[in-house]
Each structure stands twice: as structure tokens, then as C-alpha cells.
Amino acid sequence: SAGKERLENIRNDYEKFMKTEGKSLLKKYLTKEVFDVLQTRVTSHGSGLKDVVQSGFANPDSSIGLYAPDPESYDVFAELFDPVIEEYHHGFAKDAVHPDVDWGNIDDLGNVDPEGRYVLSTRIRCARSVQGYPFNPSMNEAHYREIEDKVRAAISFLEGDLKGTYYTLDSMDYETRQQLIDDHYLFKEGDRFLIAANASRYWPTGRGIFFNNDKTFIIWCNEEDHMRLISMEKSSNLGSVCSRLTRVIQQIEKHIAFTRHPRLGYLTFCPTNLGTTIRASVHIRVPNLSKNFEKFQEIADRYKLQIRGSRGEHSKSEDSVYDVSNKRRLGLTEREALLEMRNGVVELIKQEKHFE
């Protein structure tokens, strides 16, 4: 039968995958025992183990290697997700509970580089999923359209400094699109991890981008997540970046119910983004630490920061500029995630000065 054939296929793919060289968390935790238990499970959206593991199977060099095809997957495939989540999120155990939303007092977040010598820009992004919908691999074309309609409607209520325009990718000309990518505003198409995860189907249906008029606030629609909310500016003022973000979230929340899990907080497509979903980052120019990369990495690890190249994930640094962000997003409050980034960056600046 077709079902039997599917099982044989995934068994073969599993055996091949386990012979590859990769060090992904998927490879570490998809033991034979776990595989055997999970291989026949299906969620109410019809998602199976294949939807969870296909990106990691196709890309053995993944660091994580798995995605959730729908909200329920985190429970249905818990034997796999739980240990991956625990390792990535620094010990968030399978019975741990993510705290309630708490942004704290935004006004006292202040400036991460008061001298303005190192930090070129500051950015906070969040992800939100629309309640009732599966994630990419289990979405059909109508789902993409419906979510875009809901997002577009919610955005139309933004006012004042948040007011702006939504552009659907479908009707964007090539030059505009390329300019937006070059300016770092728009998501790129063709991430091999996402393609292999079945996250790029029906492209560009339902995909789009919103800008406020100052281009200090962006919403991505139906890229990796249903919604990515991004606040940024070319300064080190974490307080104003955060204020904009929380005001937008408050507005959108009046019109769209977000998917939240009793234990895992806000749900996202990639397990690395669960909980607060916050990646708070700066672009920081550190020529000395860049030359002493071991020291740079040591501080980053100690302060639970992730270092990326200046063009985002899997990119290289240009002119000693790095993207530095909080690594933890789950098991701590929004405020704690922001402070983790801030404290780490303050320490990086201190050490960079030591070498001067």
C-alpha cells in the first residue's frame, strides 16, 4: 500500500542519514528507538515524521535539522523535539514551563553603546503564528492567501509612526525586490534549509512585506513564519527599537489571535525560535576582537550570544562588522532576553576597548 511504501522510504532515508558525517541535533536525538516510535505518528493536519526531519535529512550539515510542520507537532513528536529544545535552549527540560509575557519597563532599556563608537544598528525581531493554521510544510495555497489577508487587514490599523505600506511579493517588480534585498530589508528566496523543509511552495503566493514610512519597522508575511515583526534603526537605542515593536504587537493582537503553547510560549516553525521568539541583535564593529576571534567567541559563549556575519545567518563578516544576538529565547521573559543581549554587548565593547 501507499502507506507501507512511505514507511519503507523514510526508513531508508533514516538509515542513509545516520551514515552521514553531520553533527546536527536531529542526528544526535533521532535514535533508532525514537525513530521507531515516531515513524507512524500523524497530526490532525496530516503531518508526519517526514515533514519534521526532511530538511535535516537533505542537509546533514544542519545545526538543528528539524522543523515543526504544525503547532501540534511539538506534542505529537515530543520524543524528538524535547531533547533538541533542551539542548538548544540551554537546559529547558521537557517539564519546564515558559514564563508569561513580560517586557518589563521598556524606557529603562536605554542605549547599548552610549558613546556611539561600536554599534551601527540595533534590531529586534519576533515571530508570531496565526492561530488555527499549520506551518509551511502542511500549508496549502489557500492558507498562504488567508494568512496574508489577515495580516494585511491587521496592518491597515497601524497609525502614527507605525503607519506604512504592504507590498505583496506577487506583484513586486524585479528591481524593487532586488533593491530591498540589497538594503537588507527583504528576505531572500532560496535558503536550502527552508526549501528542503517544504517551506517555499507556491512562492510567491501569500508572501509580502510591510514597511512603516521611516523604514524602522517591517513585517514579513509567510516567509519562515506566518509573521516576522522586525523593529530596527541605525543607532544603539534599544529602548526606542523595543518600544516600536511592542506597540505594533499590541495593535496586531487586537485583530489576530497568536498561537501559544502552554509550555513552549509562542510557537514557531523552527524550534530555535520558540518562547519569546526574540532575536535582539546589534551590528557591531569590533576590529580587535575580530583579530582575536577565540576571545570574541569565548565572551559570546559566556554571555549566551550568537555571532553571525553582517549579512545574516550563514554569511561572512564585512569590515569587522558582526551581527551579535541573544541565543536563548525560551524559558526566560522578553525582558530577560533583551537584557541578555544588552549585557553581552556591553562586555564585548569593554573587551574591544582593552585592545585599543
d(CA 65, CA 178): 29
Residue from 8, 170, 298, 313 binding ligand CIR (CB under 6 A)? 313
Q: Is 20 in the site for ligand CIR (CB under 6 A)?
A: no
Strand (E) or helix (H) holding 322: strand 321-326
Using CB under 6 A as the binding rule, whether residue 276 contacts ligand CIR is answered as no
Among 39, 63, 251, 290, binds ligand CIR (CB under 6 A): 63
Determine the residue type at 136: N
Q: Which is nearer to ligand CIR, 150 or 308 (CB)?
A: 308
Q: In whole angstroms, how close is the CB of 108 to ligand CIR at the nearest point?
A: 29
Secondary structure class of 194 (helix, strand, coil): helix
- DSSP per position, 11-72: HHHHHHHHTS----HHHHH--HHHHHHHTT-B-TT--BHHHHHHHHHH-TT-SS----SSTT
Question: CA torsion, points 181, 64, 73, 71, in degrees to nearest 10?
Answer: -30
For residue 76, the minimal CB distance to ligand CIR (Å) is 20
If one asks whether residue 326 binds ligand CIR (CB under 6 A), the answer comes out as no
Residue 214 near ligand CIR by CB under 6 A: no
Q: Does 235 bind ligand CIR (CB under 6 A)?
A: no
Q: Catalytic: which of 123, 207, 244, 279?
A: 279
d(CA 274, CA 48): 20
304 burial type by CB count under 10 A (0-12 exposed, 13-18 middle, 19+ buried): middle
Specify whether 308 is catalytic. Answer: yes
The cell numbers describing 217, all together, are 519597522
Beta bridge partners of 308: 323
Find the shortest distance in angstroms from Cβ 26 to ligand CIR: 8
> CA–CA separation, 228 vs 145, rounded Å?
16
Q: How far is the CB of 155 from ligand CIR (least distance, A)?
A: 26
Residue 337: strand, helix, or coil: helix
The residue from 272, 276, 277, 333 that is catalytic is 272
Q: Which is nearer to ligand CIR, 62 or 237 (CB)?
A: 62
310 lies in the site for ligand CIR, by CB under 6 A: no
Tell me if 270 contacts ligand CIR by CB under 6 A: yes
246 catalytic per annotation = no
Stretch 29-58: interaction string toward ligand CIR, x if CB under 6 A: --------------------------x---
Q: Which of 43, 73, 272, 325 binds ligand CIR (CB under 6 A)?
A: 272
Q: Is 152 a catalytic residue?
A: no
CA distances from 57 to 139, 163, 312 (A): 21, 42, 23
Mask for 178-197, x = binds ligand CIR (CB under 6 A): ---------------x----
Q: Is 228 a catalytic residue?
A: yes
What is the 3 state secondary structure string of 112-160?
Answer: CCCCCCCEEEEEEEEEECECCCCCHHHCCHHHHHHHHHHHHHHHCCCCH
Active-site pick, 123, 128, 263, 308:
308
Chain CA centroid to CA 32, Å = 29
Choosing from 43, 62, 231, 281, the residue that interacts with ligand CIR (CB under 6 A) is 62
**Which residue, 63 or 251, has its beta carbon nearer to ligand CIR?**
63
How many helices (H) does the chain have, and how many strands (E)?
13, 10
Is residue 313 flagged as an active site residue?
yes
- 340-341-346-350 Cα dihedral, nearest 10 degrees: 100
* Catalytic residue selected from 126, 221, 242, 270: 270
Residue 272 appears among annotated catalytic residues? yes
Active site residues: 125, 224, 228, 270, 272, 279, 308, 313
Binding site for ligand CIR (CB under 6 A): 55, 62-65, 193, 270, 272, 313
